[in-house]
Structure 1
Amino acid sequence: MTYCVGMRLDAGLVFLSDSRTNAGVDHVGTFRKMSVFENPGDRTMVLMTAGNLSISQSIRQLVSDHVDASGNSIWTAPNMYEAARILGEAVRTVHHRDAKSLQEFGIDFNVSLIFGGQIKGERCRLFQIYSAGNFIESHNENTYFQIGEAKYGKPILDRVVTPATPLDEAAKCALISMDSTLRSNVSVGLPLDLLVYEDNKLAITHFVTIDEKNQYFQMIRNTWGQQLKSVFESIDAPVWNASPEVQGNVLSATNMHSKPVRVAVPQELLNTALTPSPLQSLAQGNDDHTQA
Protein backbone atom coordinates (compact mmCIF):
# COMPACT_ATOMS: atom_id res chain seq x y z
CA MET A 1 0.00 0.00 0.00
CA THR A 2 1.03 3.62 -0.31
CA TYR A 3 -0.24 7.14 0.20
CA CYS A 4 0.16 10.01 -2.27
CA VAL A 5 -1.50 13.42 -2.36
CA GLY A 6 -1.39 16.10 -5.05
CA MET A 7 -2.79 19.63 -4.76
CA ARG A 8 -3.61 22.22 -7.44
CA LEU A 9 -3.53 25.74 -6.04
CA ASP A 10 -3.58 29.27 -7.42
CA ALA A 11 0.13 29.55 -6.65
CA GLY A 12 1.18 26.20 -8.11
CA LEU A 13 1.24 22.49 -7.27
CA VAL A 14 2.21 20.34 -4.28
CA PHE A 15 3.01 16.61 -4.48
CA LEU A 16 3.80 14.25 -1.59
CA SER A 17 4.37 10.48 -1.69
CA ASP A 18 5.62 7.79 0.67
CA SER A 19 7.88 4.90 -0.38
CA ARG A 20 6.47 1.77 1.31
CA THR A 21 5.78 -1.09 -1.10
CA ASN A 22 5.32 -4.06 1.22
CA ALA A 23 4.41 -4.29 4.89
CA GLY A 24 4.49 -7.38 7.01
CA VAL A 25 6.16 -8.99 9.97
CA ASP A 26 9.34 -9.84 8.09
CA HIS A 27 9.17 -8.06 4.73
CA VAL A 28 9.18 -4.30 4.19
CA GLY A 29 10.16 -2.89 0.80
CA THR A 30 10.96 0.64 -0.34
CA PHE A 31 10.38 2.13 -3.78
CA ARG A 32 9.94 5.78 -4.67
CA LYS A 33 6.49 6.49 -6.12
CA MET A 34 7.17 9.94 -7.60
CA SER A 35 8.68 10.53 -11.06
CA VAL A 36 9.40 13.87 -12.73
CA PHE A 37 9.23 14.59 -16.47
CA GLU A 38 10.98 17.93 -16.90
CA ASN A 39 12.20 19.91 -19.89
CA PRO A 40 13.09 23.23 -18.23
CA GLY A 41 11.47 26.22 -19.87
CA ASP A 42 8.96 24.06 -21.75
CA ARG A 43 7.24 21.66 -19.33
CA THR A 44 7.39 20.20 -15.85
CA MET A 45 5.20 17.19 -15.06
CA VAL A 46 4.99 14.93 -12.01
CA LEU A 47 3.64 11.37 -11.82
CA MET A 48 2.80 9.52 -8.60
CA THR A 49 1.66 5.89 -8.55
CA ALA A 50 -0.14 3.49 -6.23
CA GLY A 51 -1.07 -0.15 -6.66
CA ASN A 52 0.83 -3.06 -8.16
CA LEU A 53 4.47 -2.01 -8.44
CA SER A 54 5.24 -4.02 -11.58
CA ILE A 55 2.29 -2.40 -13.37
CA SER A 56 3.36 1.07 -12.23
CA GLN A 57 6.91 0.54 -13.45
CA SER A 58 5.70 -0.71 -16.83
CA ILE A 59 3.44 2.31 -17.28
CA ARG A 60 6.18 4.75 -16.35
CA GLN A 61 8.65 3.17 -18.75
CA LEU A 62 6.11 2.98 -21.56
CA VAL A 63 4.92 6.56 -21.25
CA SER A 64 8.51 7.81 -21.30
CA ASP A 65 8.89 6.53 -24.87
CA HIS A 66 5.28 6.31 -26.10
CA VAL A 67 4.25 8.19 -29.25
CA ASP A 68 0.53 8.21 -30.06
CA ALA A 69 -1.16 7.97 -33.48
CA SER A 70 -0.92 11.74 -34.00
CA GLY A 71 2.83 11.70 -33.33
CA ASN A 72 2.65 13.25 -29.87
CA SER A 73 4.43 11.96 -26.78
CA ILE A 74 4.36 13.15 -23.20
CA TRP A 75 7.36 15.29 -24.16
CA THR A 76 5.64 16.98 -27.11
CA ALA A 77 1.95 17.07 -26.10
CA PRO A 78 0.56 20.58 -26.65
CA ASN A 79 -1.22 20.70 -23.28
CA MET A 80 -1.62 18.77 -20.03
CA TYR A 81 -4.91 17.23 -21.11
CA GLU A 82 -3.21 15.58 -24.08
CA ALA A 83 -0.33 14.46 -21.84
CA ALA A 84 -2.85 12.86 -19.45
CA ARG A 85 -4.57 11.18 -22.40
CA ILE A 86 -1.24 9.71 -23.54
CA LEU A 87 -0.65 8.42 -20.01
CA GLY A 88 -4.13 6.85 -20.05
CA GLU A 89 -3.27 5.13 -23.32
CA ALA A 90 -0.14 3.71 -21.70
CA VAL A 91 -2.27 2.30 -18.87
CA ARG A 92 -4.57 0.59 -21.36
CA THR A 93 -1.61 -0.77 -23.33
CA VAL A 94 -0.14 -2.40 -20.23
CA HIS A 95 -3.59 -3.72 -19.30
CA HIS A 96 -4.06 -5.26 -22.75
CA ARG A 97 -0.63 -6.87 -22.54
CA ASP A 98 -0.54 -8.07 -18.92
CA ALA A 99 -4.01 -8.16 -17.30
CA LYS A 100 -5.04 -11.62 -18.54
CA SER A 101 -1.74 -13.22 -17.52
CA LEU A 102 -1.90 -11.59 -14.09
CA GLN A 103 -5.47 -12.78 -13.61
CA GLU A 104 -4.40 -16.38 -14.24
CA PHE A 105 -2.21 -16.05 -11.15
CA GLY A 106 -4.98 -14.41 -9.10
CA ILE A 107 -3.51 -10.90 -9.38
CA ASP A 108 -5.83 -8.00 -10.18
CA PHE A 109 -4.79 -5.18 -12.52
CA ASN A 110 -4.57 -2.60 -9.75
CA VAL A 111 -3.04 0.81 -10.36
CA SER A 112 -3.98 4.44 -9.78
CA LEU A 113 -2.07 7.57 -10.72
CA ILE A 114 -1.85 11.27 -9.90
CA PHE A 115 -0.42 13.31 -12.76
CA GLY A 116 0.07 17.07 -12.79
CA GLY A 117 2.24 19.87 -13.99
CA GLN A 118 2.45 22.73 -16.44
CA ILE A 119 3.23 23.04 -20.14
CA LYS A 120 4.32 26.43 -21.47
CA GLY A 121 1.36 28.52 -22.55
CA GLU A 122 -1.24 27.07 -20.15
CA ARG A 123 -2.01 26.97 -16.44
CA CYS A 124 -1.06 24.30 -13.90
CA ARG A 125 -3.31 21.25 -14.13
CA LEU A 126 -3.81 18.09 -12.06
CA PHE A 127 -5.38 14.73 -12.99
CA GLN A 128 -6.26 11.43 -11.34
CA ILE A 129 -5.98 8.44 -13.67
CA TYR A 130 -7.69 5.11 -13.03
CA SER A 131 -6.94 1.49 -13.91
CA ALA A 132 -9.06 1.75 -17.07
CA GLY A 133 -6.97 4.66 -18.35
CA ASN A 134 -9.79 7.16 -17.87
CA PHE A 135 -9.16 10.26 -15.78
CA ILE A 136 -10.66 13.28 -14.06
CA GLU A 137 -9.24 16.77 -13.60
CA SER A 138 -8.98 18.89 -10.47
CA HIS A 139 -11.01 22.10 -10.35
CA ASN A 140 -11.70 24.65 -7.62
CA GLU A 141 -14.35 22.37 -6.10
CA ASN A 142 -11.81 19.56 -5.69
CA THR A 143 -8.36 21.06 -5.23
CA TYR A 144 -6.58 17.82 -4.37
CA PHE A 145 -6.40 14.13 -5.24
CA GLN A 146 -5.31 11.19 -3.07
CA ILE A 147 -4.37 7.65 -4.05
CA GLY A 148 -3.56 4.65 -1.89
CA GLU A 149 -4.40 4.70 1.82
CA ALA A 150 -6.31 7.98 1.68
CA LYS A 151 -8.83 7.95 4.53
CA TYR A 152 -6.57 8.87 7.47
CA GLY A 153 -5.15 11.99 5.86
CA LYS A 154 -8.33 13.31 4.26
CA PRO A 155 -9.97 15.25 7.16
CA ILE A 156 -7.16 17.81 7.52
CA LEU A 157 -7.13 18.43 3.76
CA ASP A 158 -10.89 19.00 3.69
CA ARG A 159 -10.68 21.52 6.53
CA VAL A 160 -7.64 23.49 5.38
CA VAL A 161 -6.90 23.41 1.65
CA THR A 162 -8.55 25.85 -0.77
CA PRO A 163 -7.32 27.19 -4.12
CA ALA A 164 -6.02 30.30 -2.31
CA THR A 165 -3.86 28.33 0.15
CA PRO A 166 -0.18 29.41 -0.14
CA LEU A 167 2.25 26.73 -1.28
CA ASP A 168 4.13 26.48 2.02
CA GLU A 169 0.85 26.18 3.94
CA ALA A 170 -0.30 23.47 1.54
CA ALA A 171 3.01 21.61 1.94
CA LYS A 172 2.61 21.78 5.73
CA CYS A 173 -0.94 20.45 5.43
CA ALA A 174 0.22 17.62 3.17
CA LEU A 175 2.86 16.60 5.72
CA ILE A 176 0.28 16.61 8.54
CA SER A 177 -1.98 14.49 6.33
CA MET A 178 0.90 12.07 5.79
CA ASP A 179 1.78 11.98 9.50
CA SER A 180 -1.82 11.03 10.35
CA THR A 181 -1.59 8.20 7.83
CA LEU A 182 1.80 6.98 9.07
CA ARG A 183 0.49 6.80 12.63
CA SER A 184 -2.57 4.77 11.68
CA ASN A 185 -1.34 2.42 8.97
CA VAL A 186 1.86 0.38 8.89
CA SER A 187 1.57 -0.11 5.13
CA VAL A 188 2.65 3.52 4.60
CA GLY A 189 6.22 4.45 5.46
CA LEU A 190 9.22 6.75 5.22
CA PRO A 191 11.09 8.12 3.38
CA LEU A 192 8.80 10.69 1.75
CA ASP A 193 9.21 12.72 -1.43
CA LEU A 194 7.86 16.29 -1.28
CA LEU A 195 7.81 18.46 -4.40
CA VAL A 196 6.50 22.03 -4.56
CA TYR A 197 6.12 23.67 -7.97
CA GLU A 198 5.60 27.42 -8.38
CA ASP A 199 3.25 28.52 -11.16
CA ASN A 200 4.96 29.49 -14.44
CA LYS A 201 8.47 28.47 -13.33
CA LEU A 202 8.56 25.52 -15.78
CA ALA A 203 11.23 23.92 -13.59
CA ILE A 204 11.27 22.24 -10.18
CA THR A 205 11.50 24.91 -7.48
CA HIS A 206 11.50 22.90 -4.24
CA PHE A 207 12.11 19.20 -3.68
CA VAL A 208 13.18 17.19 -0.63
CA THR A 209 13.36 13.54 0.41
CA ILE A 210 12.27 13.27 4.05
CA ASP A 211 13.53 10.54 6.37
CA GLU A 212 13.08 9.97 10.11
CA LYS A 213 15.87 12.48 10.89
CA ASN A 214 14.30 15.43 9.03
CA GLN A 215 13.98 18.25 11.57
CA TYR A 216 10.89 19.90 10.13
CA PHE A 217 8.94 16.66 9.81
CA GLN A 218 9.88 15.66 13.35
CA MET A 219 8.58 19.04 14.54
CA ILE A 220 5.34 18.45 12.61
CA ARG A 221 4.90 15.00 14.19
CA ASN A 222 5.50 16.23 17.74
CA THR A 223 3.69 19.56 17.54
CA TRP A 224 0.60 18.26 15.73
CA GLY A 225 0.07 15.51 18.30
CA GLN A 226 0.51 17.91 21.21
CA GLN A 227 -1.80 20.53 19.70
CA LEU A 228 -4.49 17.95 18.96
CA LYS A 229 -4.39 16.74 22.54
CA SER A 230 -4.48 20.30 23.86
CA VAL A 231 -7.48 21.23 21.71
CA PHE A 232 -9.25 18.02 22.70
CA GLU A 233 -8.75 18.69 26.39
CA SER A 234 -10.01 22.28 26.00
CA ILE A 235 -13.42 21.13 24.71
CA ASP A 236 -16.03 20.87 27.47
CA ALA A 237 -17.50 17.51 28.40
CA PRO A 238 -21.14 16.90 27.36
CA VAL A 239 -24.08 17.56 29.70
CA TRP A 240 -26.37 14.54 30.10
CA ASN A 241 -30.07 14.61 31.09
CA ALA A 242 -30.12 18.39 31.29
CA SER A 243 -33.24 20.20 32.36
CA PRO A 244 -35.01 22.13 29.54
CA GLU A 245 -33.69 25.52 30.65
CA VAL A 246 -30.02 24.47 30.32
CA GLN A 247 -28.53 25.72 27.03
CA GLY A 248 -24.79 25.02 26.97
CA ASN A 249 -23.18 21.76 25.77
CA VAL A 250 -26.39 19.75 26.10
CA LEU A 251 -25.97 16.26 24.70
CA SER A 252 -29.27 14.94 26.08
CA ALA A 253 -32.14 16.56 27.95
CA THR A 254 -34.91 15.32 30.15
CA ASN A 255 -37.49 16.32 27.54
CA MET A 256 -35.85 14.18 24.87
CA HIS A 257 -37.37 10.79 24.20
CA SER A 258 -34.59 8.99 22.33
CA LYS A 259 -34.16 5.31 23.15
CA PRO A 260 -31.77 2.63 21.92
CA VAL A 261 -32.98 -0.20 19.73
CA ARG A 262 -33.23 -3.08 22.19
CA VAL A 263 -33.06 -6.76 21.31
CA ALA A 264 -35.52 -8.85 23.34
CA VAL A 265 -34.01 -11.22 25.90
CA PRO A 266 -34.97 -14.86 25.13
CA GLN A 267 -37.83 -16.06 27.34
CA GLU A 268 -35.89 -18.99 28.75
CA LEU A 269 -33.21 -16.60 30.03
CA LEU A 270 -35.86 -14.44 31.65
CA ASN A 271 -37.26 -17.51 33.44
CA THR A 272 -33.79 -18.50 34.58
CA ALA A 273 -33.20 -15.03 35.94
CA LEU A 274 -36.42 -15.18 37.98
CA THR A 275 -35.90 -18.75 39.30
CA PRO A 276 -32.69 -19.30 41.31
CA SER A 277 -30.63 -22.30 40.32
CA PRO A 278 -30.17 -25.16 42.87
CA LEU A 279 -26.65 -23.95 43.62
CA GLN A 280 -27.90 -20.40 44.17
CA SER A 281 -30.66 -21.71 46.50
CA LEU A 282 -28.14 -23.80 48.46
CA ALA A 283 -25.77 -20.85 48.79
CA GLN A 284 -28.57 -18.60 49.96
CA GLY A 285 -29.68 -21.24 52.51
CA ASN A 286 -26.16 -21.50 53.92
CA ASP A 287 -25.99 -17.75 54.17
CA ASP A 288 -29.29 -17.64 56.05
CA HIS A 289 -28.12 -20.44 58.43
CA THR A 290 -24.84 -18.65 59.09
CA GLN A 291 -26.58 -15.39 59.85
CA ALA A 292 -28.96 -17.18 62.24
Structure 2
Amino acid sequence: MADPRDSADELAGTEQPFVAHLMELRDRILYALGGVGVCMVLLAIWPGPSGLIDLIAVPIRAHMPPDVKLIAVGVFTPFFVPLKVLMMAGLLLALPWVIYQIWAFVAPGLYSHEKRFALPLIIIGSLLAYLGIAFVQFFVLDKMFAFIQGFTPASVNATPDIASYVEAILSLYLAFGLAFQVPVVVMLLVRFEMVSIEKLKSFRGYFIVVAFIIAAVVTPPDVISQLALAIPMCLLYELGIIGARWFARGKPSAEADETASATDGPSSS
Protein backbone atom coordinates (compact mmCIF):
# COMPACT_ATOMS: atom_id res chain seq x y z
CA MET A 1 0.00 0.00 0.00
CA ALA A 2 1.35 3.39 -0.93
CA ASP A 3 2.30 5.82 1.79
CA PRO A 4 -0.27 8.68 1.85
CA ARG A 5 2.59 11.13 2.25
CA ASP A 6 3.93 10.10 -1.17
CA SER A 7 0.66 10.85 -2.94
CA ALA A 8 0.65 14.55 -2.04
CA ASP A 9 3.21 17.27 -2.27
CA GLU A 10 4.65 17.86 1.20
CA LEU A 11 4.77 21.59 0.46
CA ALA A 12 1.05 21.73 -0.39
CA GLY A 13 -0.73 24.33 1.70
CA THR A 14 2.43 26.16 2.64
CA GLU A 15 2.12 28.83 -0.05
CA GLN A 16 2.10 32.42 1.19
CA PRO A 17 0.98 35.63 -0.48
CA PHE A 18 3.63 37.71 -2.20
CA VAL A 19 3.31 40.48 0.40
CA ALA A 20 3.92 37.95 3.17
CA HIS A 21 7.13 36.86 1.42
CA LEU A 22 8.28 40.48 1.21
CA MET A 23 7.56 41.03 4.90
CA GLU A 24 9.44 37.85 5.79
CA LEU A 25 12.37 38.97 3.63
CA ARG A 26 12.35 42.38 5.30
CA ASP A 27 12.40 40.82 8.76
CA ARG A 28 15.26 38.48 7.88
CA ILE A 29 17.31 41.36 6.45
CA LEU A 30 16.69 43.41 9.59
CA TYR A 31 17.66 40.48 11.79
CA ALA A 32 20.86 39.98 9.78
CA LEU A 33 21.75 43.69 9.91
CA GLY A 34 20.98 43.72 13.62
CA GLY A 35 23.39 40.85 14.18
CA VAL A 36 26.10 42.65 12.20
CA GLY A 37 25.43 45.80 14.22
CA VAL A 38 25.77 43.94 17.53
CA CYS A 39 29.05 42.41 16.39
CA MET A 40 30.31 45.84 15.33
CA VAL A 41 29.49 47.27 18.75
CA LEU A 42 31.28 44.41 20.50
CA LEU A 43 34.33 44.81 18.27
CA ALA A 44 34.27 48.59 18.79
CA ILE A 45 34.49 47.96 22.54
CA TRP A 46 37.24 45.37 22.18
CA PRO A 47 39.69 45.32 20.52
CA GLY A 48 38.43 48.57 18.99
CA PRO A 49 39.00 49.97 15.48
CA SER A 50 42.64 50.72 16.25
CA GLY A 51 43.18 47.20 17.51
CA LEU A 52 41.67 45.75 14.35
CA ILE A 53 43.94 47.93 12.20
CA ASP A 54 46.95 46.80 14.22
CA LEU A 55 45.89 43.17 13.75
CA ILE A 56 45.54 43.28 9.99
CA ALA A 57 48.73 45.35 9.71
CA VAL A 58 50.85 42.65 11.40
CA PRO A 59 51.86 40.88 8.14
CA ILE A 60 53.22 44.00 6.45
CA ARG A 61 54.69 45.57 9.60
CA ALA A 62 56.76 42.41 10.05
CA HIS A 63 58.64 43.31 6.86
CA MET A 64 59.04 47.05 7.53
CA PRO A 65 61.67 48.81 9.62
CA PRO A 66 60.59 49.17 13.29
CA ASP A 67 60.49 52.96 13.11
CA VAL A 68 58.37 53.03 9.90
CA LYS A 69 54.58 53.09 10.06
CA LEU A 70 51.77 52.96 7.53
CA ILE A 71 50.69 56.41 6.39
CA ALA A 72 47.28 57.99 5.84
CA VAL A 73 47.30 60.18 2.73
CA GLY A 74 43.65 61.27 2.63
CA VAL A 75 42.22 63.86 5.01
CA PHE A 76 39.43 61.56 6.22
CA THR A 77 41.39 58.33 5.89
CA PRO A 78 42.13 58.00 9.65
CA PHE A 79 38.36 57.92 10.26
CA PHE A 80 36.91 56.03 7.31
CA VAL A 81 39.49 53.23 7.05
CA PRO A 82 39.05 51.99 10.67
CA LEU A 83 35.27 52.26 10.21
CA LYS A 84 35.48 50.18 7.02
CA VAL A 85 37.59 47.56 8.77
CA LEU A 86 35.16 47.52 11.70
CA MET A 87 32.21 46.92 9.34
CA MET A 88 33.99 44.07 7.54
CA ALA A 89 35.06 42.48 10.82
CA GLY A 90 31.50 42.74 12.14
CA LEU A 91 30.17 41.08 9.01
CA LEU A 92 32.68 38.24 9.27
CA LEU A 93 31.92 37.71 12.95
CA ALA A 94 28.18 37.65 12.25
CA LEU A 95 28.52 35.47 9.15
CA PRO A 96 26.92 32.34 10.72
CA TRP A 97 23.98 34.45 11.90
CA VAL A 98 23.57 36.06 8.47
CA ILE A 99 23.66 32.67 6.74
CA TYR A 100 21.13 31.35 9.25
CA GLN A 101 18.73 34.15 8.31
CA ILE A 102 19.11 33.25 4.63
CA TRP A 103 18.48 29.62 5.53
CA ALA A 104 15.40 30.50 7.62
CA PHE A 105 13.95 32.45 4.69
CA VAL A 106 14.36 29.72 2.06
CA ALA A 107 13.84 26.66 4.28
CA PRO A 108 9.99 26.68 4.15
CA GLY A 109 10.19 26.28 0.37
CA LEU A 110 12.47 23.25 0.49
CA TYR A 111 11.55 19.59 0.64
CA SER A 112 12.71 17.57 3.62
CA HIS A 113 15.41 15.77 1.63
CA GLU A 114 16.68 19.13 0.37
CA LYS A 115 16.88 20.50 3.91
CA ARG A 116 18.96 17.52 4.98
CA PHE A 117 21.83 18.38 2.63
CA ALA A 118 21.36 22.17 2.46
CA LEU A 119 22.14 22.85 6.13
CA PRO A 120 25.44 20.88 6.14
CA LEU A 121 26.50 22.73 2.99
CA ILE A 122 25.79 26.08 4.67
CA ILE A 123 27.90 25.09 7.67
CA ILE A 124 30.70 23.78 5.47
CA GLY A 125 30.61 26.94 3.34
CA SER A 126 30.92 29.18 6.42
CA LEU A 127 33.85 27.18 7.80
CA LEU A 128 35.60 27.24 4.42
CA ALA A 129 35.16 31.03 4.19
CA TYR A 130 36.76 31.45 7.63
CA LEU A 131 39.53 29.06 6.62
CA GLY A 132 40.25 31.03 3.45
CA ILE A 133 40.45 34.34 5.33
CA ALA A 134 42.68 32.83 8.03
CA PHE A 135 44.90 31.38 5.32
CA VAL A 136 45.34 34.87 3.85
CA GLN A 137 46.02 36.53 7.20
CA PHE A 138 48.49 34.04 8.64
CA PHE A 139 50.27 32.71 5.55
CA VAL A 140 49.66 34.45 2.23
CA LEU A 141 50.23 38.05 3.36
CA ASP A 142 53.44 37.23 5.20
CA LYS A 143 54.94 35.37 2.22
CA MET A 144 53.66 37.91 -0.28
CA PHE A 145 55.14 40.95 1.52
CA ALA A 146 58.41 39.12 2.11
CA PHE A 147 58.59 38.50 -1.64
CA ILE A 148 57.68 42.10 -2.51
CA GLN A 149 60.03 43.68 0.03
CA GLY A 150 62.84 41.60 -1.40
CA PHE A 151 62.60 43.67 -4.59
CA THR A 152 62.63 47.03 -2.78
CA PRO A 153 65.92 48.88 -3.42
CA ALA A 154 67.94 49.83 -0.36
CA SER A 155 67.62 53.50 -1.31
CA VAL A 156 63.81 53.32 -1.23
CA ASN A 157 61.84 53.62 2.00
CA ALA A 158 58.57 51.71 1.49
CA THR A 159 55.74 53.45 3.39
CA PRO A 160 52.44 52.04 2.12
CA ASP A 161 49.20 53.96 2.43
CA ILE A 162 46.78 52.40 4.92
CA ALA A 163 43.77 52.90 2.62
CA SER A 164 45.35 51.08 -0.33
CA TYR A 165 46.66 48.38 2.02
CA VAL A 166 43.23 47.73 3.51
CA GLU A 167 41.62 47.62 0.06
CA ALA A 168 44.25 45.13 -1.12
CA ILE A 169 43.88 42.73 1.78
CA LEU A 170 40.08 42.96 1.80
CA SER A 171 40.07 41.99 -1.87
CA LEU A 172 42.30 39.03 -0.97
CA TYR A 173 39.96 38.04 1.87
CA LEU A 174 37.05 38.10 -0.57
CA ALA A 175 38.93 36.23 -3.29
CA PHE A 176 40.12 33.45 -0.99
CA GLY A 177 36.80 33.24 0.87
CA LEU A 178 34.99 32.68 -2.44
CA ALA A 179 37.68 30.41 -3.89
CA PHE A 180 37.46 28.15 -0.86
CA GLN A 181 33.80 27.50 -1.76
CA VAL A 182 34.91 25.18 -4.60
CA PRO A 183 33.90 21.98 -2.71
CA VAL A 184 30.42 23.39 -2.06
CA VAL A 185 29.94 24.29 -5.73
CA VAL A 186 31.15 20.86 -6.86
CA MET A 187 28.84 19.06 -4.46
CA LEU A 188 25.85 21.13 -5.54
CA LEU A 189 26.55 20.45 -9.21
CA VAL A 190 26.59 16.72 -8.57
CA ARG A 191 23.60 16.81 -6.23
CA PHE A 192 21.40 18.57 -8.81
CA GLU A 193 22.70 16.26 -11.56
CA MET A 194 24.16 19.11 -13.56
CA VAL A 195 27.38 17.14 -13.91
CA SER A 196 28.52 13.64 -12.97
CA ILE A 197 31.48 12.68 -10.82
CA GLU A 198 33.08 11.03 -13.85
CA LYS A 199 32.83 14.32 -15.75
CA LEU A 200 34.43 16.15 -12.85
CA LYS A 201 37.32 13.72 -12.87
CA SER A 202 37.83 14.12 -16.60
CA PHE A 203 37.68 17.93 -16.19
CA ARG A 204 40.44 17.84 -13.55
CA GLY A 205 43.20 18.94 -15.94
CA TYR A 206 41.13 21.82 -17.30
CA PHE A 207 40.26 22.97 -13.78
CA ILE A 208 43.94 23.25 -12.91
CA VAL A 209 44.37 25.65 -15.83
CA VAL A 210 41.23 27.57 -14.81
CA ALA A 211 42.46 27.81 -11.20
CA PHE A 212 45.76 29.35 -12.25
CA ILE A 213 43.99 31.79 -14.59
CA ILE A 214 41.65 32.89 -11.79
CA ALA A 215 44.60 33.25 -9.41
CA ALA A 216 46.45 35.38 -11.94
CA VAL A 217 43.44 37.68 -12.35
CA VAL A 218 42.25 38.19 -8.75
CA THR A 219 45.58 38.25 -6.87
CA PRO A 220 48.43 40.77 -6.97
CA PRO A 221 51.08 40.22 -9.66
CA ASP A 222 53.38 38.10 -7.52
CA VAL A 223 54.04 34.39 -7.78
CA ILE A 224 53.51 33.66 -4.08
CA SER A 225 49.89 34.83 -3.83
CA GLN A 226 49.01 33.26 -7.17
CA LEU A 227 50.35 29.85 -6.14
CA ALA A 228 48.77 30.25 -2.71
CA LEU A 229 45.35 30.58 -4.34
CA ALA A 230 45.66 28.17 -7.27
CA ILE A 231 47.07 25.19 -5.36
CA PRO A 232 44.40 25.20 -2.60
CA MET A 233 41.70 25.52 -5.28
CA CYS A 234 42.99 22.37 -6.98
CA LEU A 235 43.09 20.51 -3.65
CA LEU A 236 39.61 21.72 -2.74
CA TYR A 237 38.34 20.55 -6.13
CA GLU A 238 39.49 17.03 -5.24
CA LEU A 239 37.88 17.41 -1.82
CA GLY A 240 34.65 18.46 -3.52
CA ILE A 241 34.66 15.28 -5.65
CA ILE A 242 35.07 13.19 -2.50
CA GLY A 243 32.28 15.11 -0.75
CA ALA A 244 30.03 14.82 -3.79
CA ARG A 245 30.08 11.02 -3.45
CA TRP A 246 28.75 11.33 0.07
CA PHE A 247 26.07 13.93 -0.75
CA ALA A 248 24.89 12.01 -3.79
CA ARG A 249 24.76 8.72 -1.93
CA GLY A 250 21.29 9.20 -0.48
CA LYS A 251 19.60 10.44 -3.63
CA PRO A 252 19.26 7.16 -5.56
CA SER A 253 17.65 5.47 -2.59
CA ALA A 254 15.13 8.29 -2.27
CA GLU A 255 14.25 7.96 -5.93
CA ALA A 256 13.99 4.19 -5.50
CA ASP A 257 11.53 4.68 -2.63
CA GLU A 258 9.38 6.93 -4.80
CA THR A 259 9.43 4.36 -7.60
CA ALA A 260 8.50 1.61 -5.18
CA SER A 261 5.65 3.69 -3.79
CA ALA A 262 4.34 4.36 -7.27
CA THR A 263 4.53 0.63 -8.04
CA ASP A 264 2.79 -0.41 -4.85
CA GLY A 265 -0.03 2.06 -5.38
CA PRO A 266 -1.84 0.34 -8.29
CA SER A 267 -1.17 -3.15 -6.91
CA SER A 268 -2.84 -2.34 -3.61
CA SER A 269 -6.00 -1.29 -5.36
Bucket of the pairwise TM-score, normalised by the shorter protein: under 0.3
User: Highest CA radius of gyration, 1 or 2?
Assistant: 1
Higher relative CO (CA 8 A, sep ≥ 6), structure 1 or 2?
Answer: 2
State the TM-score, normalized to the length of structure 1: 0.21
Between Structure 1 and Structure 2, which shows a larger proportion of strand residues? 1
- What TM-score results when the alignment is normalised by the length of structure 2? 0.22
